[in-house]
Amino acid sequence: MSSNAYAEACNIEDLGASIVFEFLEQVLGKVIRVTGKDRQVFGDYYVEKAGKDHAIEVKHEIENIHKNLFLETWSNRHLKQGWLYTSRADILIYHFIKNREIYMISMDTLRKWAYEPGHLDVYEEKEQVKYEQINTTCGRPVPIDVLIEKAGMRKYIVDEGGNWKRELF
């Protein structure tokens, strides 16, 4: 990843981090930010709920233009698998900053859905082209509506008072 692309990705993450932290506290409970090399494996946060720790992987995007989630299959094509396969997080959160939306799904549930024939494999694997980078990151853009309907993903929106509400379908 070029230094400008890396800096841009860090800026987006910084922009969204406080919003996601507040969401996690409001919806799930006590939050601990993961640091160092543990982030590559366990995600960005730990949340304690009902006496159990849950590792949470967070993806931030500025805007939800295409109505898809990019499920990363390769971090570096043919050399390193993407977070869909390597993350040991319990929960995936996809945050769209401008849309004030958060999507949340159990990683186990997402993987079970993805591994079923006729699910993830029907979506074309595409190279990530938003940011210029050295490695070739690939993933499958999957419509959000499909993940909500078929895999049980949940959508949350923030109201004017800063409260997160689950949108029911």
- Say if residue 4's pLDDT is above 70: no
Contact 23, 163 (CB under 8 A): no
β partners of residue 166: 156
Name the band, by pLDDT with cuts 50, 70 and 90, for residue 18.
confident
CATH architecture of 3-167: 3-Layer(aba) Sandwich (3.40)
Average pLDDT over residues 39-62: 87
Enter the pTM of the model: 0.87
Every domain of the chain and the residues it spans: 3-167
Whether the predicted pLDDT of 1 surpasses 60: no
Span 99-150, pLDDT tens digits: 999 999 999 999 999 999 999 999 999 998 776 777 888 999 999 999 999 9
First CA to last CA distance, the chain? 38
